[in-house]
Amino acid sequence: MSAALKDLGFSELDERVVPFPLAGQVSLVRRCASELENIHGQAALHYWKSECRALAERLRTLGCADDAISQQVMAFQTEVQVEMMRRYSGRLAGEAQDGYRLNP
């Protein structure tokens, strides 16, 4: 740690990384939802597991505790599922709207 940071009251003991919550990383959530829409079966399962493991490992590298990692990954999984439902609902609404057009 630099002397300047120590002078400002920062100490090595007080330092800790607080990662931005995975569930709040909208581009990551949308990317995963998009990928999962296009693959199915074992390929989807493999993709999903490897993505979640990579995210967990990234948090572990930052020094997060196992319980915090588990909570973060679970919240992320929920957000991806919500995004997939939102996309699916949007497609259904669009299809319904196309089927119920009024002719002038």
Does residue 11 sit within a domain? no
Handedness of CA 24, 21, 28, 73 (dihedral sign): negative
Tokens of 41: 């079966």
Does residue 80 sit within a domain? yes
Does residue 15 sit within a domain? no
Does residue 7 sit within a domain? no
pLDDT of residue 98: 72
In this prediction, the residues of the chain whose per-residue pLDDT falls under 50 are 5
Parent domain of 93? 22-99
Domain count, the chain: 1
Per residue in 25-42, pLDDT (tens digit) is 999 999 999 999 999 999
Alpha carbons 65 and 1: distance in angstroms, whole number: 23
Does residue 59 sit within a domain? yes
pLDDT of residue 71: 94
Q: What is the dihedral of CA 25, 81, 34, 94, to 10 degrees?
A: -120
Does residue 95 sit within a domain? yes
Does residue 53 sit within a domain? yes
Does residue 12 sit within a domain? no
Alpha carbons 58 and 69: distance in angstroms, whole number: 9
pTM (whole model) above 0.75: no
